[in-house]
Homo-oligomer: A and B are copies of this chain.
Amino acid sequence: MRSHDVPRVRALPMFMNVSEETFARVTGAAHLQKFPANTQLLLEGDNVDFLYVLLDGQVELQGTWNDKETTLTILRPVSTFILAAVVLDANALMGARTIERCDILMISGHSIRQNMAEDPLFGIAVARELAGCYRGLVRTIKNQKLRSGVERLANYILTLRAKTGASDLIHLPHEKRVLAALLGMTPENLSRAFATLQAYGVDVIGADLRICKLRDLERLAKPDPLIDNHAPPAPDIRAEADAEIWAAERIRAGG
């Protein structure tokens, strides 16, 4: 691991309250690897030997069945993924693919499990991370089952707005076809959904959005803290007390 990555990894909820010794032991044999864009890191069903920590780039976690594919989540730095499979020493239920060129830290799954047994604080940290991932998925399912495509898009925009500083000028972090897969619709329907949102004051120019009538958009989207996590991204260092509850929910990719 490069030395300037250490504080970024330590800021993860999974390592935040962990002793220097345990951290050193867990990451001792870790190695940093670079992957080009559009590289399949992991196929569904693969045996999982490493915990992945995304340090740079974007990774998509997907599920497939019967020649169809869906995007479960898109990860941005700094995030861990497939922790659940590592904890259970099981195979992956999701595939993982790079969307951009990525820097990924790979931590031995065995050393994760071993250190959970030796340091209860680390076990707690892992459990908290997993609990946060679980809750992320609960939100995802509610979003998917209870809302229509247009409503999901409207809420996606509002969440993005909240996470990027509440400005009314927003830049989409993904290609639209990727966003469509994430929202559970076809690119064609995403296009039509954006057209529908024009009536609610959303102007779209390429990947740039402008929210002109926030009230109208909110009235359509009806954002709900029990579905949409509008918490801002975690800064590298913060007081423990606040961090605990929501920081663990920032990342939704337990694996």
Contacts and interface: CB of A to CB of B under 8 A. Distances in A.
Interface of A: 44-45, 63-66, 68, 70, 72, 83-85, 87-90, 93-94, 113, 116-121, 123-124, 126-128, 130-135, 137-142, 144-147, 184, 222, 224-227, 244-245, 248-249, 254-255
A124 B134 contact: no
A93 B138 contact: yes
Contact of A93 (B89, B139, B245): B139
A87 to B, nearest CB: 4
Contacts of A63: 138, 141-142, 145-146, 226-227
A70 B142 contact: yes
B145 A144 contact: yes
20 contacts: A45-B225, A63-B138, A63-B226, A63-B227, A70-B145, A72-B138, A72-B141, A83-B131, A84-B135, A85-B131, A88-B248, A88-B249, A90-B135, A93-B139, A117-B121, A117-B124, A123-B124, A134-B137, A140-B141, A141-B144
Contacts of A128: 87-88
B244 A131 contact: no
B130 A124 contact: no
**A interface, by DSSP: helix, strand, loop or mixed?**
helix
B65 A222 contact: yes
B65 A146 contact: yes
A222 B65 CA distance: 9
Contacts of A84: 130-132, 134-135, 138
